[in-house]
Amino acid sequence: MGSEEITSTPEGRTHFRELLAIGLVASVIGVVLGLVIDWFPTQASEEGERVDTLWDVLIIFSVPVFVLVIVVVLYCVWRYRMKPGEELKDGPPIHGNTKLEIVWTAIPAIILVALCSYAYVVLRDVEKADAAGVLDVEVVGQQFTWTFFYKDPAGKRIASPQLYVPRGRQVNFTVKSDDVIHDFWVPAFRLKIDAVPGISTHLRATPKTLGDYPVVCAELCGLGHAAMRQTAHVVEPAEFEQWLANGGRPPGEPGEAGEAGEDAGAPDGKALFADNGCGGCHALADAGTTGGTGPNLDEALADKDAAFIEESIVDPSAEIAEGFSDIMPPNFEQTLQPEELDALVKYLDEVAGR
| By CB under 6 A, residue 219 contacts ligand CUA | yes
Contact pattern from residue 45 through residue 64 relative to ligand CUA, giving x for each residue in contact according to CB under 6 A and a dash for the rest: --------------------
| By CB under 6 A, residue 349 contacts ligand CUA | no
- Residue 189 burial by Cβ neighbours in a 10 Å radius (0-12, 13-18, 19+): buried
Query: Edge-to-edge strand order for the sheet containing 229-235?
Result: 163-166, 229-235, 211-217, 182-186, 191-195
| By CB under 6 A, residue 163 contacts ligand CUA | no
Stretch near ligand CUA under the rule CB under 6 A, chosen from 2-10, 54-62, 160-168, 220-228: 220-228
Considering the complex, state which of residue 146 and residue 189 has its C-beta at the smaller distance from ligand CUA: 146
Contact pattern from residue 168 through residue 187 relative to ligand CUA, giving x for each residue in contact according to CB under 6 A and a dash for the rest: --------------x-----
- Residue 92 burial by Cβ neighbours in a 10 Å radius (0-12, 13-18, 19+): exposed
Q: How far apart are CA 38 and CA 274, in angstroms?
A: 33
Query: Edge-to-edge strand order for the sheet containing 145-151?
Result: 157-160, 145-151, 135-142, 171-177, 201-205
Type of residue at 312: S
The contacts of residue 282 (CB under 8 Å, 6+ apart) are 289, 291, 293, 294, 295, 296, 297
**Selection from 146, 123, 121, 149 nearest residue 135 by Cα:** 149
Considering the complex, state which of residue 139 and residue 301 has its C-beta at the smaller distance from ligand CUA: 139
Q: How far is the CB of 219 from ligand CUA (least distance, A)?
A: 5
Considering only residues 131 through 160, tell me which ones interact with ligand CUA, judged by CB under 6 A: 141, 144
Considering the complex, state which of residue 219 and residue 349 has its C-beta at the smaller distance from ligand CUA: 219
| By CB under 6 A, residue 215 contacts ligand CUA | no
Q: How far is the CB of 181 from ligand CUA (least distance, A)?
A: 8
| By CB under 6 A, residue 327 contacts ligand CUA | no
Which residues in this chain contact ligand CUA in the complex, by CB under 6 A? 141, 144, 182, 217, 219-221, 225, 228
